[in-house]
Structure 1
Amino acid sequence: MKHYPVIGIVGPQASGKTVVASKLSDLGASRVRMGDIAWEKVKERGLEVTEENVARIANELREEEGMGAMAKYSIPYIKNEMKNNSAVVVDGIRGISEVKKFKEEFGKDFVLISIEALEETRYERIKKREREDDIKNFEAFQRKDNREKEWGLEEAMESADYTITNEDSLEKLKEKTSKIFEEIMKKYEN
């Protein structure tokens, strides 16, 4: 049976993870957004989807079930998407424990792409995008960055198979993503 890669996307808030995941999806990959799973858990508890609630519930799950909890909850969704006979992109990896959980589950078929951007660039992007779970000010932005660092974000980024620096245009980011996807998929031809 032919198999396909599971492509993880890791990076800090507003680095460009969603754009990269969308581009990979446009190129034919199925998509699982880890944030959607966190949102589901928030809604299951009858709470409003806010940055604070999403962070609190994700933290509670990590405290109760370990730092790889969100990855664990994502795996059934990923396996379901794999039935579509395509690569699967996992958007929103936040720490090294999640990376380890995915490597444990998918072995050499798990490929990690790290997206990097400067703090100033990322904060400016957040101010413009107005997503319902986004932070509201620079202090909250820094708190979220620090919380994600505590989850092992930097270590996860350092373990990546590919790194994209996202300081240019959206078009440049999409070009870089296309090249990496092409390179990954070449290994799965035959």
Structure 2
Amino acid sequence: MNTDAPRSIFAVVGLAGTGKSSVVGILKEILDAPVVYFGGVVVAEVRRRGLEVTEATERTVREGLRAEHGMSAIAQLASEDIDQHFTSYREIIIDGLYSYAECELLNERFPGLVSLIAVHATKAIREERLAQRPVRPLSAAELHSRDMREIRTLDKGTAIALADHHILNNTGITELQDQVKAVVAAVRQSRGERARAADVR
């Protein structure tokens, strides 16, 4: 944990198979920071309702929460965890941001602290990765259906398009690590400059 780092939230977004989990893992190694997993909010609610945790029950609960609380529902529920982490850490990682509404809510709750990182990979590479995934593999048709649902229903495409930083994950782990390190350096520099400017004012 870097106690001298300015307060920051690193929020990772991307379509399935782009390597979001890899980016989150690298961020965790670099920052030594806690991870707020938005999917964990949904899983906790599924269990609270006494349901078996499956992809279907998670989707049903997730859509129900959004119908009741709006498209930013998951971010609303996760905000308490973020506040709690900020009592002990300067930097926090968010894994699993889905919609631009969630990003907007985070920016309202934590103004000036959110850096949205979009992870990309070509469709062919994504299809190959997900077909070989040991847990919940997806066929090319299933991936296409999921992409369309996330883009059309959840507005994930807007969050990806308007991200502050973009990472292309088509090659190996070394190149990915280099890109993530560059993003962290850029965010810390930007936050530090803002903090110094605020002190001057």
8 A Cα contact 1:39 1:54, kept in partner = yes
Counterparts in 2 of 1:97 and 1:59: CA distance versus 1, 3 Å: same
- Gaps spanning 5+ residues in structure 2: where? 197-201
Q: Which string of whole-angstrom CA distances, capped at 9 and with x for unpartnered residues, describes residues 89-133 of structure 1? A: 1011111111111111111111100111122212221222323xx
Report the CA distance between 1:136 and its aligned residue.
4.2
Report the CA distance between 1:163 and its aligned residue.
0.6
Aligned partner of 1:140: which letter? E
Counterparts in 2 of 1:91 and 1:102: CA distance versus 1, 3 Å: same
Aligned partner of 2:188: which letter? M
Aligned partner of 1:12: which letter? L
8 A Cα contact 2:38 2:78, kept in partner = yes
- For residues 127 and 174 of structure 1, the distance between their equivalents in structure 2, rounded to whole angstroms, comes to 24
Which of residues 133, 139, 143 in structure 1 aligns to 2:141? 139
Aligned partner of 1:147: which letter? R
User: Which residue matches 1:108?
Assistant: 112
* 4+ long deviations beyond 6 Å: none
- For residues 64 and 135 of structure 1, the distance between their equivalents in structure 2, rounded to whole angstroms, comes to 30
8 A Cα contact 1:103 1:110, kept in partner = yes
Moved more, 179-188 or 6-15: 179-188
Aligned partner of 2:146: which letter? K
Moved more, 142-151 or 68-77: 142-151
Instruction: Give the alignment's TM-score, normalised by structure 1.
Output: 0.91
Secondary structure of the equivalent of 2:96?
strand
Secondary structure of the equivalent of 1:180?
helix
User: Which residue matches 2:190?
Assistant: 187
Aligned partner of 1:93: which letter? L
Alignment root-mean-square deviation, CA? 1.9
Which of residues 164, 173, 176 in structure 2 aligns to 1:173? 176
User: Which residue matches 1:124?
Assistant: 128
Counterparts in 2 of 1:3 and 1:183: CA distance versus 1, 3 Å: closer
Instruction: Give the alignment's TM-score, normalised by structure 2.
Output: 0.86
Residue 23 in 1 paired to residue 26 in 2?
A: yes
Secondary structure of the equivalent of 1:107?
coil
Amino-acid identity (%): 25
8 A Cα contact 1:30 1:84, kept in partner = no
- Gaps spanning 5+ residues in structure 1: where? none
